[in-house]
Amino acid sequence: MATETLTLGKALNTGLRKALENDPKVVIMGEDVGKLGGVFRITDGLQKDFGDQRVIDTPLAESGIIGTAVGLAIRGFRPVCEIQFDGFVYPAYDQIVSQVAKMHYRSQGKVRIPMVIRIPYGGGIGAVEHHSESPEAYFAHTAGLKVVTCANPQDAYVMIQQAIASDDPVVFLEPKRRYWEKGPVDLDAPLSAAYPLHASRVVRPGTDATVLAYGPMVRTCLDAATAAAEDGRELEVIDLRSLSPLDLGPAYESVRRTGRCVVVHEAPGNLGLGSEVAARITEECFYSLESPVLRVTGYDTPYPAARVEEEYLPDLDRVLDAVDRAHGW
């Protein structure tokens, strides 16, 4: 078993490289993904090794990137599109929700769109406007799209390959402030693995409350669980991993044991993913709940200037405060 310690960004790069090696129909396209290797260097070295016909520097036109990829996908390619920052995806939004999401349904199953749209998302890096947003709810709400997000290097490596191998369009959200965090990666992990692409995972067992998170907030919730353990409180942390479709089976099982649930994400709370998760938990686990499902989210404002973003982002203290309120402590 070949296991290496990699950053999340390097794990994505290694997963993309393996996908390019295994399937000649895989192409990567986006702004500065070639010679520069992407603004976060996720595609570093790939154009040098696979050529500019497979790792393609595109014009600065997100709608054109996605529209071109739709044509490539129809012709049998597996395009992987990089949107340079989360806030730049909106010029491509019409293509994604009107074409990418609906082509399979509109053609009565005759046409598939096997493409991946990679979007670095979330805050915490001190960036300027339109560089720190969390647009996941827009895509998770759209029928025909699958939406996933990784939280650690092992998942980054496996999930990007699983997404590329999927015959359905996948929006692949990458937590940009976790790009530099390191972890072990099994380079021989099969794509089927113990957890398929659309499965949630218990990442820390516990008994006192269930904490659900995804992407950049998983690390925050694990840190909160570590802090809570010092006071004798054991939090069960679940990484949702897939936002559409949601896999809430492990969450239901957990909440039926703990009786309390906190949902955490960076995006604003109003109509965010936490609302849907809280509704489903309440419907399925009503008689097990000892208190209402609580949400810890970003605020219902545009993402703030970098100098005050730490006041906006959910942190360890806000997670622990929600757990205390759920218990009445």
pLDDT tens for 233-252 read 999 999 999 999 999 999 99
- The reply to whether 117 and 224 lie within a common domain is no
Confirm whether pTM is higher than 0.85: yes
Indicate the pLDDT class of residue 158, thresholds 50, 70 and 90.
very high
pLDDT of 194 > 80? The answer is no
- The reply to whether 109 and 140 lie within a common domain is yes
**Residue 18: predicted pLDDT:** 97
Indicate the pLDDT class of residue 312, thresholds 50, 70 and 90.
very high
The per-residue pLDDT for range 78-128, each reduced to its tens digit, is: 999 999 999 999 999 999 999 999 999 999 999 999 999 999 999 999 999
Residue finishing a domain among 186, 220, 238: 186
- The reply to whether 259 and 145 lie within a common domain is no
pLDDT of 317 > 90? The answer is yes
- The reply to whether 205 and 301 lie within a common domain is yes
- Considering the domain boundaries, does residue 196 fall inside one? no
131 is catalytic: yes
- The reply to whether 264 and 122 lie within a common domain is no
- The reply to whether 141 and 96 lie within a common domain is yes
Can you list the alpha helix ranges (DSSP code H) found in 125-248? 136-140, 153-165, 217-229
In angstroms, the CA 311 to CA 39 distance is 26
- Residues in contact with 98: Cβ distance below 8 Å, sequence separation at least 6, in sequence order: none
**Residue 42: predicted pLDDT:** 98
Indicate the pLDDT class of residue 193, thresholds 50, 70 and 90.
confident
| Average pLDDT rounded to a whole number, residues 28-36 | 97
Where in the sequence is the domain holding 212, given as residue range(s)? 201-327
Q: How many domains does the chain have?
A: 2
Asked whether 148 and 242 are in contact (CB, 8 A), the reply is yes
- Considering the domain boundaries, does residue 314 fall inside one? yes
- For residue 127, give the CATH number of its domain: 3.40.50.970
- Considering the domain boundaries, does residue 192 fall inside one? no
Residue finishing a domain among 186, 211, 245: 186
- The reply to whether 229 and 162 lie within a common domain is no
Q: Which run of H or of E encompasses 65?
A: helix 62-74
- Considering the domain boundaries, does residue 238 fall inside one? yes
pLDDT of 1 > 90? The answer is no
In angstroms, the CA 274 to CA 13 distance is 30
**Residue 121: predicted pLDDT:** 98
- The reply to whether 160 and 217 lie within a common domain is no
**Is the N-terminal amide bond of 245 cis, ω within 30° of 0?**
yes
- For residue 259, give the CATH number of its domain: 3.40.50.920
- Considering the domain boundaries, does residue 110 fall inside one? yes
- The reply to whether 154 and 239 lie within a common domain is no
- The reply to whether 161 and 223 lie within a common domain is no
Indicate the pLDDT class of residue 329, thresholds 50, 70 and 90.
confident
Indicate the pLDDT class of residue 319, thresholds 50, 70 and 90.
very high
**Residue 214: predicted pLDDT:** 98
| Cβ density class 10-28: b for 16+ within 10 Å, e for less | bbbbbbbbbbbeeeeebbb
In angstroms, the CA 209 to CA 255 distance is 7
- Considering the domain boundaries, does residue 195 fall inside one? no
Nearest to 245 by CA among 313, 105, 145: 145
- Considering the domain boundaries, does residue 234 fall inside one? yes
**Residue 33: predicted pLDDT:** 98
Instruction: Determine which one of 104, 130, 131, 327 is catalytic.
Output: 131
Residue finishing a domain among 151, 186, 221: 186
| Average pLDDT rounded to a whole number, residues 63-70 | 98
Rg (CA), the chain: 19
- Considering the domain boundaries, does residue 310 fall inside one? yes
| Average pLDDT rounded to a whole number, residues 280-304 | 97
- The reply to whether 49 and 170 lie within a common domain is yes
- The reply to whether 170 and 316 lie within a common domain is no
